[in-house]
């Protein structure tokens, strides 16, 4: 059986499973559509939450970022994990006790203001749309390779599949679909990692293999990787970062952004009791850890495999890695996996010195320029998209065909699971918070369901269009979304739960300040999101304020949000007494075993 047929079998079987589950769990009411009827078991919800949260950025991009940037990019790992802990401990149980359907629902009622509700809807839509672009980008990468179609067609196929099970199933269908998607993606991620760890280190546990001895050379794996990439002008894989402030702010931005993600928060509204929300959070952390403890090993091993593919002499123990680095493969002898990925356009080769060989080195390293010139090199010639490394890893390591088919299904599952959750958050905000609560309170349940499904379909079309024109690779786009969510929604949720003094005026001013300053900074250095050429200033560290990257500014925006909200609140009237009593009732465990339904 050909590789394409195997890929089609795995991907097709997973699609049939998702659509079958959606038909079985089709939403019959608005409560089914928004919160899956409110009766999801904590273990089931924990698994669905893990799938919802571990997006294409986690499955596809994170290991690629670690592969390309090493320790410096571990901020993605630390920020996303730390943020989930904040969400689980400080937000999820209290929001579940409040008993609403959506994040804007909580903000509108807690701050007794439809203006606050409307601003929250705007913040939610901006963050979620930006986030879903990364998912569509990741889905396009996976589809384009494994179904042998263009990236454009890959994104359209992903949109069609999400439409089939999300529009009709709502949260109920999405929940059980995400359970299946988690099982698919964790198996798909783990099995190739075990194979590759065994091949390189003899250790079947990837996380331990990362710190084991490289079998062929007899030196520690990370030391081997450092030696190989040093010979090509790259800094140590384990090297520390230069700008500590930016690293701290970027980690904080991902943390507060994670805690403010509306599509993850609404998952905690689907369980029967507040205690179940806490158990869901705990189970989700266990399921998430299975992938996150494996990702650093996958990234480092992928980088080593890639480099020793281009420079085969570096694979074993050699007297001089510098000498081995002078003998890259002929382009005509490139491995089959390179030829395959070239067809997707995600690997490109430019023979800059016309010698017919594939040079890969750090041509941005001025200290290495003289060495490159002596070797007759004229610029790094192989461009490899970060998003392909996890998907290509089994092919790079010559693993069995069925493993490649499995990881195809896993990559697609990761993208689709989070895309569905994000689209539901957008749909719920429009149909429930805008139409039902603000525009037409008398709308029937049937009418609200129709509005929810139409909103979902519209969001899918918009996400597809933007996915065809993304501002960066999947994890970078997702980082922007986290910054926006962290600057706008996280502070107002925290203040809504833990401060009785913050009023509606402060909440609105804080959200607008956090969102506005973050968007302004991103616009200044990255352009108007989808048109990078419109940036006002060059996107380089020399131009950033205090060296703060646009991807890191969400933490600063959150600080502005907190400061403005408290300042405005203290300068204006206190919230009504019934609102202060409501905050007390949410924070303290009186009656915590049950929650008020909407």
pLDDT given at position 7: 83
403 within domain boundaries: yes
pLDDT given at position 527: 63
Using DSSP, state whether 112 is helix, strand or coil: coil
353 within domain boundaries: no
C-alpha closest to that of 522 among 562, 586, 471:
471
345 within domain boundaries: no
Q: Assess contact for 141 and 151: CB atoms under 8 A.
A: yes
Task: Dump pLDDT digits (tens) for 369-391.
Answer: 889 988 889 889 999 887 788 87
* Mean of pLDDT over the chain: 85
pLDDT given at position 534: 59
pLDDT given at position 297: 93
C-alpha closest to that of 22 among 12, 30, 32:
32
- Banded model confidence at residue 202, pLDDT cuts 50, 70, 90: very high
70 within domain boundaries: yes
What is the mean predicted confidence (pLDDT) over 406-427? Answer: 81
Give the whole-number percent of the chain exceeding pLDDT 70. Answer: 94
Vertex 99 angle, CA 97 and 103, to 5°: 105
Of residues 181 and 511, more confidently modeled? 511
Task: Dump pLDDT digits (tens) for 255-286.
Answer: 998 888 888 888 888 888 888 888 888 898 89
pLDDT at residue 595 above 70? no
Q: Residue 432 is part of which domain span?
A: 3-301+396-437+448-587
pLDDT given at position 537: 67
Q: Are strands 382-384 and 347-349 parallel, antiparallel or unpaired?
A: antiparallel
Q: Assess contact for 477 and 130: CB atoms under 8 A.
A: yes
pLDDT given at position 531: 54
C-alpha closest to that of 247 among 476, 57, 72:
72
592 within domain boundaries: no
Strand partners of residue 384: 347
Instruction: Please give the radius of gyration of the chain, using alpha carbons only, rounded to the nearest integer.
Output: 24
Element (DSSP H or E) covering residue 402: helix 401-428
**Using CA atoms, how far apart are residues 291 and 58, in angstroms rounded to an integer?**
8
Distance of CA 216 to the CA centre of its chain: 35
pLDDT at residue 593 above 70? no
CATH code where residue 76 lies? 1.20.1730.10
Residue for token digits 């790992």? 77
Give the whole-number percent of the chain exceeding pLDDT 90. Answer: 27
Overall domain count for the chain: 1
Q: Assess contact for 360 and 314: CB atoms under 8 A.
A: no
Task: Dump pLDDT digits (tens) for 290-337.
Answer: 988 999 999 999 999 989 988 998 888 777 888 888 889 999 999 888
Task: Dump pLDDT digits (tens) for 510-553.
Answer: 999 999 999 888 888 776 554 555 566 666 777 888 888 888 89
> Maximum CA pair distance of the chain?
79
596 within domain boundaries: no
**Using CA atoms, how far apart are residues 359 and 331, in angstroms rounded to an integer?**
9
């Amino acid at each position: 059986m050909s590789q394409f047929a195997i890929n089609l079998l795995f991907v097709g079987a997973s699609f049939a499973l998702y659509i079958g589950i959606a038909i079985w769990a089709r939403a019959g009411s608005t409560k089914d559509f928004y919160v899956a009827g409110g009766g999801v078991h904590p273990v089931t919800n924990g698994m669905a939450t893990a799938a919802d949260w571990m997006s294409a950025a986690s499955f596809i991009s994170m290991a690629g970022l670690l592969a390309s940037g090493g320790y410096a990019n571990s901020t993605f790992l630390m920020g996303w994990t730390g943020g989930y802990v904040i969400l689980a401990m400080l937000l999820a149980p209290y929001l579940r006790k409040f008993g609403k359907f959506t994040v804007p629902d909580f903000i509108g009622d807690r701050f007794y203001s439809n203006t606050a509700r409307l601003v929250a809807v705007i913040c939610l839509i901006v963050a979620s749309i930006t986030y879903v672009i990364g998912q569509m980008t990741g889905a396009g990468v996976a589809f384009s390779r494994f179904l042998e179609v263009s990236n454009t067609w890959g994104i359209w196929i992903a949109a069609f599949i999400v439409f089939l099970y999300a529009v009709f199933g709502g949260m109920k269908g999405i929940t059980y679909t995400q359970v299946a998607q988690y099982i698919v993606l964790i198996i798909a991620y783990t099995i190739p990692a075990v194979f590759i760890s065994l091949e390189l280190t003899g250790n079947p546990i990837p996380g331990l293999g990362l710190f084991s001895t490289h079998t062929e050379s007899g030196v520690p794996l990370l030391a081997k990787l450092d030696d190989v990439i040093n010979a090509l002008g790259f800094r140590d894989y384990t090297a520390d970062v230069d700008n500590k402030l930016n690293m701290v702010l970027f980690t904080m931005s991902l943390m507060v952004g994670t805690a403010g993600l509306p599509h993850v928060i609404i998952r905690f509204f689907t369980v029967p009791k507040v205690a179940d929300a806490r158990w869901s959070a705990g189970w989700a952390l266990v399921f998430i850890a299975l992938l996150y403890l494996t990702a650093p090993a996958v990234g480092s091993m992928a980088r080593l495999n890639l480099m020793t593919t281009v420079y085969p002499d570096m694979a074993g123990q050699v007297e001089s890695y510098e000498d081995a680095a002078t003998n890259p493969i002929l382009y005509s002898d490139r491995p089959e996996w390179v030829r395959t990925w070239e067809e997707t356009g995600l690997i490109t080769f430019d023979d800059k010195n016309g010698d017919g060989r594939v040079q890969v080195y750090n041509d941005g390293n001025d200290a290495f320029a003289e060495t490159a010139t002596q070797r007759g090199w004229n610029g790094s010639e192989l461009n490899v998209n970060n998003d392909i490394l996890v998907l290509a890893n089994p092919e790079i390591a010559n693993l069995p065909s069925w493993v490649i088919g499995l990881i195809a299904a896993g990559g697609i599952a990761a993208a689709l699971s989070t895309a569905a959750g994000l689209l539901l958050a957008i749909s719920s905000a429009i149909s429930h918070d805008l139409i039902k609560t603000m525009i037409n309170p008398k709308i029937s349940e049937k009418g609200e369901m129709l509005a929810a499904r139409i909103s979902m379909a519209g969001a899918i079309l918009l996400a597809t269009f933007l996915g065809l024109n993304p501002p960066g690779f999947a994890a970078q786009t997702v980082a922007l979304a986290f910054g926006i969510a962290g600057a706008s929604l996280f502070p107002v949720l925290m203040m809504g739960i833990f401060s009785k003094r913050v009023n509606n005026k402060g909440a609105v001013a804080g959200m607008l300040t956090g969102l506005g300053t973050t968007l302004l900074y991103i616009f200044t250095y990255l352009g108007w999101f989808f048109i990078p050429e419109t940036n006002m200033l060059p996107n380089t560290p020399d131009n950033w304020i205090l060296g703060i990257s646009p991807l890191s500014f969400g933490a600063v925006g959150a600080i502005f949000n907190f400061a403005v909200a408290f300042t405005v609140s203290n300068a204006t009237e206190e919230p009504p007494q019934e609102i202060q009593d409501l905050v007390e009732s949410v924070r303290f465990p009186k009656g915590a075993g049950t929650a008020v339904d909407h």
